[in-house]
Amino acid sequence: MRQAHLRHRGPFLPPLDSVRQYEFEPGYVVFTLPCPKRIRVMANGQLLADTAEALILFESDHIPIYYIPLKDIRMELFEPGKRVTESPYKGKARHYSLKDAQGAYDDILWHYDHPAKGSPDLSDYGSFYWHEVDRWFEEEEEVFVHVRDPFRRVDCLPTTRRVVVRHAGVTVADSARGVFLFETGLPTRHYLPVADIDMSCLVPSDTRTECPYKGEAQYYHLKVGETLVKDAVWYYANPVHEALRVRGLLCFGTELVDEVTVDGKVVEPPVTSFKFGYNYIGYKD
């Protein structure tokens, strides 16, 4: 749990004042919170798990993970796998493979028989490798990429601030009717209407990525004269509900173009993985 002098202090989430946090070294913690959502997991055309009693495990330097009660996992569909992994913070994990799947779903489920001393007791729970099963659902909504972190928030706010995007000496966008997207821990993104963008500078891209908080992104390359920046612009044609206000609006990667200004002030390009030509966890901001 929080140290006494930190209780009832930010972030405002009363359960954090009573949840037990397991601290293994300074700054490295592991803890669980109950998840009231109905969680379902599917693979090979079968329902593997269905629960309203999952835990979310939070661990330093990791994205959150669902742990599902073993009683809510269809263990009769599984057989012991070959893989064994060990974490100094959680213990030794045995893995299980889906029966009669011709090796397509080997070692997709893991379980800690004897959790490490001083760690959360996960002995009655199992978890699945997210990308090695076919589908995840929270209630009736399919979820992509990874667990939605309850501590992350997305706000999409209409704005009258003027956003100007310039590249290779050309103004490619100029708008005072955009939507700013604010997402916890990520740079502000400026989504602009198509009518305020020079679409002659955009070349359709085949790239598609998914985000658990916004949906599937589609892309354009930015071409100004002889200059080409791949996948510099993205948009969500059918965003999930948190991001409905940016539906069909276009966003220029601030770190991928020469200059973005907001009300005449230059926006400092954020340092992100996108600048270096790769995408750390499979989705754009």
Q: pLDDT digit string (tens) for 200-249?
A: 999 999 999 999 999 999 999 999 999 999 999 999 999 999 999 999 99
- pLDDT of the residue at 225: 94
- pLDDT of the residue at 274: 59
Element (H, E) at 78: strand 78-87
Question: Domains along the chain?
Answer: 4-143 (2.170.150.40), 154-276 (2.170.150.40)
- pLDDT of the residue at 3: 46
When pLDDT is averaged across residues 178-196 and rounded to a whole number, the result is 97
| pLDDT range class, residue 273, cuts 50, 70, 90 | low
**Farthest CA pair distance, the chain:** 64
pLDDT above 70 covers a percentage of the chain that reads 86
Residue 156 one-letter amino acid: C
Q: Check whether 127 has a pLDDT greater than 50.
A: yes
DSSP 161: S
For the chain, the average pLDDT equals 89
Q: Which range, of 21-25, 155-159, 274-278, averages the lowest pLDDT? A: 274-278
- pLDDT of the residue at 276: 45
Residues 6+ apart with CB under 8 A from 276: none
When pLDDT is averaged across residues 138-163 and rounded to a whole number, the result is 95
Q: Check whether 272 has a pLDDT greater than 90.
A: no
- pLDDT of the residue at 257: 97
pLDDT in tens, 21-42: 666 666 778 899 999 999 999 9
Between CA 260 and CA 80 the distance in angstroms is 54
Between CA 62 and CA 32 the distance in angstroms is 13
Q: Check whether 285 has a pLDDT greater than 50.
A: no
pLDDT in tens, 43-68: 999 999 999 999 999 998 899 999 99
Long-range CB contact pairs, 96-99, < 8 A, 24+: 96/126, 98/43, 98/44, 98/46, 98/48
| pLDDT range class, residue 156, cuts 50, 70, 90 | very high
| pLDDT range class, residue 118, cuts 50, 70, 90 | confident
